[in-house]
Amino acid sequence: MQVTLINPHTLIQPSDPLTTGICYFPVTLAYLAASLREQGHLVHVIDAFGEASTTVRRWRNWWMQGLPLETLLGRLAQDGGDAEAPIFIYAGNLVSHEATIQILKAVSQRFSRRPRIVVENTQAVTAYALKKALPDFFSAGADYVLTGECEQRGPRLLSALSSKEELKTLDGVYWRENGAVHGADPAGFIQDLDSLAFPAWDLFPLAGYWRLHYAHGPVTAKRWLPLLTSRGCPYPCRFCVVPETNRMKWRARSAKNVASEMAFWGERLGIREFHIEDLNPTVDEERVRQLSQEIESAGLKLTWKIVAGTKLDILKEPDTLHRMARAGCRYISMSPESGSPEILKRMGKPFRYDAAIELTRQMHREGIRSQACFVVGYPEESDADRALTRRYIRRLAQAGLDEVALFICTPVPGSSIFGSEQGYQSLSELSFSPVWRKTYRLLSRYRRGTYLRFLLWKLLYHPVKLLAQPFHFLSRRFQTKMEMTPYRALSVMFWRWMHP
């Protein structure tokens, strides 16, 4: 069967191009493409972002990055083949929800005979639980919404399209019939992740990503790829969507399988830099040590970076970071979330403050760049709580922390706090700069002030690191996201100026 997979545009909040508009490779979609191809389906990919990554234009209240809609529809028409070939549309990023809805509406009007399937992203904190947005998708013309892991459910859904009775036996699939929504929650997870085919990156316009010279993680090489070495997270953080989409289940690929993928893309595409996008890759410290050993034993000359905010304080063995650095690890993002123990308790987030300080010192000694991520504005957070966060950031800066990221809390659909705040008109407004929040100005001032203080502390405690940042910026060999983010924002503003 012929199928088409669509990765939507990226939406950018014009008032904050520093925090929004981050470039994410569509990893889940690439896994789905590999699975469908393995089942014998003819897979076409239209990557609305990657195929026109330097095209930015005004669209409603956002800047939209990617292909013009008519060009995308023209590509669909050129696919030819079966006039009833299914279309999978990836709802991978919450802020880009309206872009996904726009594509869905246009496709349903132009290609009404082709089944339209919306696909959930379960492996990112910037995603959302699609069950909470079913009315939006069905109103826009979706025939099915596929939730949970898609590699096995996607092929099963294709087999069931011609049989309503078979459709009723599937889990993780929702559809609308006679005005009523039917379906069931996902029932289980893929346990043997090593059995999955590597993502089908050969079907995607990778050059469109590489020409940007920026990504979610700091880019040093000319070519790079993301990796998912594990899935899920065992922690119940109430501000996060992951407990809903992964049920606090964590599963991992073997170290050998991960190293094999690194070697595969190194040989096939010349990739020497990998960005690990796992929700929490360090849950099993022994596996991290094994991965380091596998990379060294295989003689792989590469760098790898943990870019999505792992729970680093889990690590207890004194030589783990040394082994990681020796195997090419050059960057680790961790997520303390708050310097206030009371706020962490309310969040449901365990964290060992002192352990993270010592690990930051170790990363500094080993030459591993470090980031600490914090959520500010959590419900009932006080000025005193935020003062504790700022105090802890200073301790981290003294220990050698390279950068800090502060995200203003937003009620992500699927998180425990979804519904705790009102005032937004669209799910796309649920960014980490939620200007609609009544306390946004207060929190934004706190964020700016904390960033400024962090830079001053960095200058005080580790001046060489701070003074090196302009050189990394100018050479586009970014060691941290703080060096890369201004470049990304300036690039986007320039492309927006080029496409009035």
Q: Tell me: the pLDDT tens digits for 370-388?
A: 999 999 999 999 999 999 9
- Please report the pLDDT score of residue 499 as a whole number: 86
DSSP codes joined into one string, 173-225 = EEEEETTEEEE-------S-GGGSPPP-GGGS-HHHHHTT---SSPP-SS--E
CA 199, 200, 202, 205 torsion-angle sign: negative
Round to whole Å and give the CA distance between 176 and 188. Answer: 23
Q: In the predicted model, is pLDDT for residue 82 greater than 80?
A: no
The pLDDT of 53-76, averaged and rounded, is: 97
Contact 287, 258 (CB under 8 A): no
- Please report the pLDDT score of residue 239 as a whole number: 98
What are the tens digits of pLDDT across the range 182-191? 999 999 999 9
Q: At 358, which amino acid appears?
A: E
- Please report the pLDDT score of residue 500 as a whole number: 79
- Please report the pLDDT score of residue 83 as a whole number: 78
What are the tens digits of pLDDT across the range 462-498? 999 999 999 999 999 999 999 999 999 999 999 999 9
- Please report the pLDDT score of residue 165 as a whole number: 81
Domains of the chain by start residue, with CATH: 2-183 (3.40.50.2300), 215-498 (3.80.30.20)
What are the tens digits of pLDDT across the range 258-274? 999 999 999 999 999 99
DSSP codes joined into one string, 433-476 = S-TTSTTHHHHHHHHHHHHHHHHHHHHHH-HHHHHHHHHHHHHT
Provide CB contacts within 8 A for 243, sequence distance 6+: 233, 235, 236, 237, 415, 416
pLDDT band at 80 (very low <50, low <70, confident <90, very high): low
Round to whole Å and give the CA distance between 175 and 168. Answer: 10
Radius of gyration of the chain from Cα atoms? 22
pLDDT band at 278 (very low <50, low <70, confident <90, very high): very high
260: its two tokens: 């094999």
On average, the pLDDT of the chain sits at: 96
- Please report the pLDDT score of residue 179 as a whole number: 87
Round to whole Å and give the CA distance between 478 and 472. Answer: 5
Token pair 């960014």 in the structure block, residue: 431
DSSP codes joined into one string, 355-409 = HHHHHHHHHHHHT-EEEEEEEE--TT--HHHHHHHHHHHHHHHHHT--EEEEEE-
| Ramachandran angles phi, psi of 56, nearest 5° | -130, 125
Q: How far apart are the first and last CA of the chain?
A: 40
Using DSSP's 3-state secondary structure scheme, residue 154 falls into helix
The pLDDT of 174-179, averaged and rounded, is: 92
The pLDDT of 100-115, averaged and rounded, is: 96
The pLDDT of 305-328, averaged and rounded, is: 97
- Please report the pLDDT score of residue 450 as a whole number: 98
The pLDDT of 219-239, averaged and rounded, is: 98
The pLDDT of 308-335, averaged and rounded, is: 97
**Residue 304's closest CA among 336, 281, 279?**
281
What are the tens digits of pLDDT across the range 327-361? 999 999 999 999 999 999 999 999 999 999 999 99
- Please report the pLDDT score of residue 24 as a whole number: 97
313: its two tokens: 């304080």
| Ramachandran angles phi, psi of 406, nearest 5° | -120, 125
pLDDT band at 433 (very low <50, low <70, confident <90, very high): very high
Pairing type for strands 369-376 and 2-7 reads: unpaired
The pLDDT of 100-111, averaged and rounded, is: 97
